Structure 1
């Protein structure tokens, strides 16, 4: 495993992080979830990502249980606030009330005294940024949060937040956007804005919701047991997976497989390595439904892809990858 600084902060994170969106508390049982966490630790992963909303708070609880015997100082534990965690009118958003209550609930579930990076999971247009960042500032002063980040914020929103972070002395250091060979909407605006503010990228879905796993091929049914099969017909499928299950996209991915083989990598390893070639990416979050997936995908850490390989991939994907910055969020 290799490690990188998160933006211009002093915090180091593992190049590959383990996330538990969709998996813990949902697709995999608790025993398998714990085995995945331990496989990640064995592979040198120190950065773990979750959110209070994942599996209706169960994902945080499972991660906390899995890590409770690990030396706390040896890992970076990250979670998020924004999405509904209850039925009450204040059980959502980025109000001071919800941030404070959600943070305390996350600390209990994670069985920890502090969160390394606490993310605003989305932008909240109904609450002033001043209220949000003042709440973050107080959590930082109390020692319950060490650093603050945002997920799927636009460049303009990030810049507004960064200005307040400076005023309130909040260590705003992380952006967590979707980023992969296929989804490159952050390159035009978000990354330059973050670079100006010293904010690093910890990106999610480097395998494009599993489309870059190599499981899906043109003119063949969706494989049983795959993520696409388990989510078909759901909003998740329609928004994130279905857009890539098009014949022309899958044909291009088939042409990338030999490039991976020539580089001595599997297609998933190439996809993760491709993301990590971007100097602004501090870490790429992977998910896993079994320990073997972690053992394979962590081999992307430290891989340096030749310029020719990057050019080949970019050329093949020119007509299918999404670059529109307006689709951020």
Structure 2
């Protein structure tokens, strides 16, 4: 039986891999999205991560589409109590207000009290649930005092609309500011952070330099996004080989190309071959062995892709494997080599 992992010091216990849903209504239609959630739940998965803005940057997608698909799936399957539902607030959502018979379009976003309370109500409606298990600040809002943001989150918890709060894409000093403010003011504190974290350079360094220590010291759970580096760590991008034809190929992938990252991919391939696994499973298993990491968030466009990734939960890397992977991707090594 797959052991579930406590999210920081909260009362939430998660499957070791979260299912990211940014692709729902984008690269995965509703039928495919349902099939992915069915396969994930069937494997014991219980952690669905979404955001209100998914996926506003796609033409014809007004945002909220991923939440709506999840809501219809939860209602159809009748399994709300089996799932941990996480969503986020902060990004711009277009909308129409009707005032004195006139329609005016305005942008709605941020981490103000006004917007957080409204956005939460909208997410609850789209998800067709009476509470959100983990409500996260998607990224900082420098225009709003952190006291106001935490007070609004605290009100949602006291109303019963939200169980726990978390953040995403916060720097170490911003996270410390939030933790200190919550403690000083008697407000709800973040129980988790969702950072970009993978074996790739410079992503690994960006998290491990400061954020990792904060999370370990203050007991925050870590639920990394892009744990496979946009597909780089699956092994589909190899040194000296042409790019595959995919949505993520091109400049988005090429910016991750570099000798150290290619060395890391080659090491993952080698370790995977020894274990009868695939490189993506090895990359995820390494993350799961890191301090404070609870559940990397994976994404898939097909059940076949998802099944490959779910194989991670039965993969055990030995200390020598972990050391080999850590050494080749070590950011201190990269800095030393650059200084020579």
TM-score (norm 2): 0.86
Aligned to 1:10: 11
1:44 corresponds to 2:26: no
The alpha carbon displacement at 1:171 in A equals: 4.6
1:208 aligns with 2:229: yes
Q: Distance in 2 between matches of 1:269 and 1:139?
A: 37
CA distance in 2, matches of 1:309, 1:80: 35
C-alpha deviations, 1:22-69, integer Å up to 9, x for none?
Answer: x11111111111100111000111000000011122111112112222
Report SS of the residue matched to 2:295.
strand
Asked whether 1:126 is paired with 2:127, we answer: no
* Cross-structure match for 1:327: none
Q: 1:24 aligns to what?
A: 24
Q: Secondary structure at the match of 2:294?
A: strand
1:176 equivalent to 2:194? Answer yes
- Alignment of structure 1 residues 56-205 onto 2, 5 Å: 56-68=63-75, 69-86=77-94, 91-166=108-183, 167-182=185-200, 183-184=203-204, 185-205=206-226
- Matched positions, count: 313
Corresponding residue SS for 2:73: helix
Superposed CA deviations along residues 110-149 of structure 1, whole A, max 9, x for unmatched, are 1111100000000111000111011001000000000000
Residue in 1 aligned with 2:248? 228
> Structure 1 residues 251 and 189 mapped into 2: Cα distance closer, same or farther (>3 Å)?
closer
**Matches of 1:162 and 1:320 in 2, distance apart?**
29
CA contact (8 A) 1:210 1:227 kept: no
Structure 2 unmatched ranges of 5 or more:
56-62, 96-104, 336-340
Q: Deviations over 1:290-318 (max 9, x none)?
A: 11122121121253321111121122223
Flag structure 1 segments of 5+ consecutive residues without an equivalent. 324-329
1:298 to 297, 310, 334: 310
Q: Higher relative CO (CA 8 A, sep ≥ 6), structure 1 or 2?
A: 1
Rounded to whole Å, the distance in 1 between the matches of 2:153 and 2:196 is: 23
Q: State which structure, 1 or 2, has the greater radius of gyration over its C-alpha atoms.
A: 2
Structure 1 segments of 4 or more deviating over 6 A? Answer: 319-323
Query: CA distance change for structure 1 residues 197 and 178 in 2, over 3 Å: closer, same or farther?
Result: same
- 8 Å contact from structure 1 (residues 64, 109) kept in 2: yes
Structure 1: how far apart are the matches of 2:216 and 2:267?
A: 33
Shift of 1:189: 1.0
Aligned equivalent of 2:290, options 258, 274, 278: 278
Compared with structure 1, are the counterparts of its residues 148 and 252 closer, same or farther at alpha carbon in structure 2 (3 Å cutoff)? closer
Which stretch has the larger CA shift, 106-115 or 307-316? 307-316
Counterpart-to-counterpart distance in 2, 1:177 and 1:202 = 7
Structure 2 distance, partners of 1:216, 1:51, is: 28
Q: Report the CA distance between 1:188 and its aligned residue.
A: 2.2
Question: In structure 2, the residue corresponding to 1:78 is in which secondary structure?
Answer: strand
Please state whether the residue corresponding to 1:210 is helix, strand or coil: helix
Please, what is the CA RMSD of the aligned residues? 2.0
